[in-house]
Structure 1
Amino acid sequence: MSTPRNPSTTPTFHAWVLKQTTRDDAVGDLARDYRTGVKRGIHGRASSPDGLIKILHAQRAIPAALEAASRLKEEWMREPKQAQGNPFSDPAAPLTVRVRLERWVGDYAQEIGSVDFDARAVFDSQHLDSIGTDQSDLDWVFYAAVANGLIENHDGPFTVEVPEDLAEYIEHRENAGMTEAYPSAAEALAATRVDHLQAKLQQTLAEAERLRAAIVEAENALSAAGRAAPPVIRAELEASAD
């Protein structure tokens, strides 16, 4: 078993970018904008240069920012491997997955949108052997994300794109000797599911209140007209609010 790298002496890409914020050039400007975006929750952390470039594209960054990102990527790739470390030595480093949402048009699946989400806990909850090296079918990631409230369900075909840094994630777990599922992953997913269900409950209660208000408004209108709500109509309204 390999000895895992010491995260205290091997900074992640995220930490390395933050060190560039003191520079007085385009890379420094980019690093400062990136730091602000993370702090304000505009976007998540980038675990690799390609992850940062993906964030910039999602934010519709100007060409100068993309050029600075390319330069930053070149500098990062010139860093000694030991200095780079593995980004997933940081437990909070995200493993972003993109799902292309599609619909059937004849015999073809047409893309109608996409959704990105942090699937780190989903992968952490699996035995390493079940992830394997053949990522040709990652549908299980989508179903696990839906089941745990990470994303909404999609009634149609979809394609799960292989994360660009999945190989690094697998390398980290192999080096750390973490072949079994992380004990904390199930707890993290359970907490996410609870939050998701609570949000759904609040939405349902809000809709019930809206329907009750509609009942009162309809009854007031009938009362003003000197009529009472028909029992059958009232029963149907109340049933829809329960």
Structure 2
Amino acid sequence: MTVTATVLGALLIPLAGCGGGPGPDSAHTRDTRTGSADRPAARPTGVPDVGDRLQRRIPADSRQVLAVYGEGRDSAEAVAVLYVKRGSGWDRVRGWPAHNGKKGWTTDHHEGDKRSPVGVFTLSDAGGALPDPGAALPYTRSAAIAAPRWWPRSHWHDFDYVIAIDYNRVEGTPPNNQARPEGYSKGGGIWLHLDHGGGTSACVSVSRSAMRYLLRTLDPALRPVVVMGDRAELSA
């Protein structure tokens, strides 16, 4: 479904939280783990490499989890993996290289710190400067979402497609909604968006093909969430 937004206030978008972005597309990968000839490998009952602290924050009715595993607290390198829950176990579907905040991760994100927030966040709204590619999430196409042309040319396509990460925002609204329920000092405008080969201001970025896949696959009926952070925080 597509909602067309006006172009008024084209520059009044939450750019402070975003601005990373397109690295080379990687081949999609599937889980190749197998068990014996008589018995398949057991699926993990929790999202792999996510400790009890964050595991408990995944809503009980969530059936899709995008896990973003940061390489280190101060690293902008990450891997994003999509899991689907079937029965009591989680199946790995696909994974992609990713980037996060230029300065890494934080459990106390503030506007302008160049770190991505650690946590579990719902994924409820999508959009972009380009037409809807067939998103299951509500999709808002708007010129107001496009990256400004005074940014470096390498960033111009960052927001061709975006998925809002529900950190300090109003769910059920377009990604570029300016409302910040916890106040502007806590930052906002944290998105999944197109990668340009380096760290972001706070968002998570993946390849164009990954974004198109996620837009078509993340299903509001399955209550998708993102679990994100550096590996040490995720496993705690």
Whose helix fraction is larger, Structure 1's or Structure 2's?
1
Whose strand fraction is larger, Structure 1's or Structure 2's?
2
Indicate the structure (1 or 2) with the bigger Cα radius of gyration.
1
Instruction: Tell me the TM-score normalised to structure 1 length.
Output: 0.28
Instruction: Tell me the TM-score normalised to structure 2 length.
Output: 0.28
